[in-house]
Each structure stands twice: as C-alpha cells, then as structure tokens.
Amino acid sequence: MGIFYNIMLGYFFGFALGVGCALAVFYAIYSGGYRKSVEDSLLQEKPKRYQEEMAAAKRRAEKAKEKPLG
C-alpha cells in the first residue's frame, strides 16, 4: 500500500499538475498576444511591424492564388 500511495502522489504532482501549469502558461502567452494584436489592429496609425507582416501576408496570399494546387 505504501508504494502505491507514493506512485499515485508522484503521478498526480508530476503529470497532472505539471501539464496543467504548462497549459496555463501557454494560454496566458496566447491570450496576451491575441489581445495585443487586436489592440494594434484598432490603432489609427498601424505599427511598423504590423504593416510589414500585413504586406507579407498579402504577398503570400497572392502567390497562393497564382500557384495551382497539386
């Protein structure tokens, strides 16, 4: 019974809480980036990085239209 108890504690603290904490960190990073991108999109004068990435996305979209699939 003692070893089973230790295994279950190790499993719970190592896996369950470890994965949960990692997911919480990932979500915090994702939501912070999403929030910032929405704020940037609402600005009258867009930041330089936003303009560069928008131009690159438009180029990729145009290239995808020209290139046939398959």
Residue-wise pLDDT for 11-50, tens only, equals 777 777 777 788 888 888 888 888 887 887 788 898 898 8
More confident residue, 68 or 23: 23
Instruction: Please give the Cα distance from 6 to 11 (Å, whole number).
Output: 9
Q: What is the pLDDT of residue 28?
A: 85
Cβ neighbours of residue 41 closer than 8 Å, sequence gap 6 or more: 50
Kindly report whether the global pTM for this prediction surpasses the value 0.75: no
Banded pLDDT at 69 (limits 50, 70, 90): low
pLDDT greater than 80 at residue 60: yes
